[in-house]
Amino acid sequence: MAVYEFDPLTDPRWLELVGRHADSSIFHTVEWLLSLKQTYGYRPVAFSTSNARQLKDAIVFCEVSSPLTGKRLVSLPFSDHCQPLADSNQTTEILSYLLSKSRTVGWKYLELRPLHKDSFPATKRIFEANRFHFQTIDLRPELPMLLKNMHDSCIRRKIKRADKEKLEYKSGATEDLMDSFRHLFLLTRRRHRLPPPPVSWIRNLAHAFGDRLKIHMMSKDGVPAASILTITHKQTIVYKYGCSDVSFSNLGGTPSLFWKVIQQAKLDGLTAFDLGRSDYGDEGLVGFKQHLGAAVSDLIYFRNVPSSEPKSSSALSSLIGPVFSRLPDPFLEGIGNLLYRHMG
């Protein structure tokens, strides 16, 4: 079976496939791919067993070429998941083609981040590279049931606390909200002893997705307390980033933010809330999402070579985090600008 290569940024068949395929997500969209290219210089490329006017299948990648970490093909960098838009036989054909091609192109490895573990048949040429928790909230029940599904002391009482404290809620993508989000994001990344992604990454996403991207902000007396960034695709709202100022953590800002987002998502007719991946061992984050009423499953990344790299951001933080935690903001942001394109 022949395999064809095409540019998903310019080929209208990709846009049409993403629009009609049940497994497509924000990470397949032209907007997401364009933001990866603009921010990090990655080259989006897709492969299909079909060369017809309407694609039957395809898998999208970014070619990452770094003098520090090598050349590789990833589906997709900085994306929680990227399900192949193909059945298992088509996926196997595309992978066989790419494994052959990798010998001549010099890719260090191929990486797939499928949402479904059974996306392709077991093979000795594909290895598990990393494993995460993946959590989603089914938004189809009515709001009273969604609230009831939340943990009483960890979520519902904190929502009431936020109301009592008269926290102010705003959402959108204005410059003020972007600046406040950046401030809280820096605080949070420093707390986690990691550099933030480039400022241009968030701005490129906001420009590409327009009103489908929103920054949700809780403030106390005009001071930013907690924020999350979401993007919508079809009937799903995706939580991509969250940040907060710990000095306000006892006011219930973050639980209240998620409840506000869920309420608006219901009004908009959305049916799922993708809460993204969490590292194995990050019991605090996994537990918080479960307390919101999220179901949990395994999310497994695969490569064509055994992985010897750190298994999570926690591992990276333990190695070099102490340096990041002491740097002034401009230096921390500068390191993020330099390093992230090599990490995809």
The domain ranges of the chain are 4-125, 135-300
pLDDT tens-digit map of 92-141: 999 999 999 998 999 999 999 999 987 776 666 788 999 999 999 999 99
pLDDT of residue 251: 97
> 30-40 and 12-20 are packed helices; what angle lies between their axes, rounded to 10 degrees?
130
Whether 10 shows a pLDDT value over 90: the answer reads yes
Contact 226, 168 (CB under 8 A): no
Helix (H) or strand (E) holding 329: helix 329-339
Residues with Cβ within 8 Å of residue 146, at least 6 apart in sequence? 137, 139, 262, 266, 293
Q: Which residues pair with 301 in a beta bridge?
A: 130
CATH number of 135-300: 3.40.630.30
- Compute the average pLDDT of residues 309-332: 64
How many CB atoms lie under 10 A from the CB of residue 122? 6
How many CB atoms lie under 10 A from the CB of residue 140? 12
Contact 219, 170 (CB under 8 A): yes
pLDDT of residue 13: 98
pLDDT of residue 332: 87
pLDDT of residue 1: 78
Strands (E), the chain: 4-6, 43-48, 59-66, 70-75, 110-112, 127-138, 168-172, 213-220, 223-233, 236-244, 272-279, 295-303
For 35-58, b/e burial (b = at least 16 CB within 10 A) is bbebbbebebbbbbbbeeeebebb
pTM: 0.94
Whether 246 shows a pLDDT value over 90: the answer reads yes
Architecture per CATH, 4-125: 3-Layer(aba) Sandwich (3.40)
pLDDT bucket at 68, cuts 50 / 70 / 90: very high
3-class state of residue 148 by DSSP? helix
pLDDT of residue 115: 94
Q: Same CATH topology for 4-125 and 135-300?
A: yes
Q: What is the mean pLDDT of the chain?
A: 93
pLDDT bucket at 52, cuts 50 / 70 / 90: confident
Which residue in 152, 128, 132 sits closest to 302, CA to CA? 128
